[in-house]
Chains A and B, each alone.
Chain A
Amino acid sequence: MNTSPIDSWDGAEAVFTYADNPAMMGLFLLVALAITFGTIIIAAVHEKHAYNNH
Chain B
Amino acid sequence: MEQEIAALTERLAALEGASGMSGTINSEIFYWWCTALMIAIHAGFLAYEMGASRVKNVLASGIKNILAFAFMVPTFYFFGWYIYNSFYEGLPPSGAVGLPWEASMGPNLTDNATGIFWAAFTLFAATTASIFSGAVIERIQTAGFLILAILLGSVVWILGGAWGWHPTGWLLTEFGYHDVGAAGVVHMVAGFFALGVLINLGPRVGKFNSDGSANAIFAHNVPFTITGLMLIIVGFFGFLGGCIIYMPGEQWINIYGQPTTLSAFAFNTLMGMAGGIIGAWVKTRDPFWMMSGALIGIFAAASGLDVYYPPVAFVLGTFGGFVVPMVAVQLEKMGIDDAVGAFPVHGIGGMIGVLACGVFAGGYPNIDGYPPVSLWGQLVGATTMGVLGFVPGFLVSFLLNAMGLLRVPDHIQEMGLDIVKVPVSAYPENYTPGPVSVATPSGAAAAPAE
Contacts and interface: CB of A to CB of B under 8 A. Distances in A.
Most A CB contacts (10 A, CB to CB) among B108, B143, B408 go to B143
Given A36-B74, A40-B147, A51-B412, A29 B100 contact: yes
Given A43-B142, A47-B142, A54-B415, A13 B109 contact: yes
B101 A36 contact: no
Interface string A17-34: 000001001100100110
Contacts of B405: 44
B412 A54 contact: yes
A1 interface: no
Interface in B161-190: none
A36 B71 CA distance: 7
B104 to A, nearest CB: 7
Given A26-B101, A47-B143, A50-B420, A36 B108 contact: no
B110 A13 contact: yes
B248 to A, nearest CB: 21
B78 A50 contact: no
Given A47-B141, A50-B420, A29 B101 contact: yes
B147 A15 contact: no
B78 A14 contact: no
A15 B110 CA distance: 10
B409 interface: yes
Nearest to B109: A12
Contact of B408 (A16, A40, A51): A51
Interface residues of A, number: 22
Contacts of B404: 48
Nearest to A54: B420
Contacts of B104: 14
Contacts, number: 60
Nearest to A45: B143
Contact of B109 (A15, A40, A44, A50): A15
Interface residues on B, range: 20 to 34
Nearest to B104: A14
Contact of A36 (B78, B109, B420): B78
A51 B108 CA distance: 47
B420 A43 contact: no
Contact of A43 (B106, B107, B110, B143): B143
Contacts of A16: 106-107
B151 to A, nearest CB: 12
Nearest to A42: B143
A45 to B, nearest CB: 8
A37 B9 CA distance: 57
A12 B78 CA distance: 25
Interface string B386-416: 0000000000000000001100110110010
A22 B101 contact: yes
Contact of A13 (B103, B142, B409, B415): B103
A36 B104 CA distance: 22
A44 B143 contact: yes
Interface string B320-357: 00000000000000000000000000000000000000
Given A13-B103, A25-B101, A29-B100, A40 B143 contact: yes
A5 B143 CA distance: 39
Interface in B114-142: 141-142
A25 B99 CA distance: 12
Nearest to B142: A43
Given A14-B108, A54-B415, 10 more contacts: A13-B108, A14-B103, A14-B107, A40-B146, A40-B147, A41-B143, A43-B143, A44-B405, A51-B409, A54-B411
Interface of B: 71, 74-75, 78, 100-101, 103-104, 106-111, 141-144, 146-147, 404-405, 408-409, 411-412, 415, 420-421
8 contacts: A9-B109, A22-B101, A40-B71, A40-B147, A41-B143, A44-B141, A47-B143, A50-B420
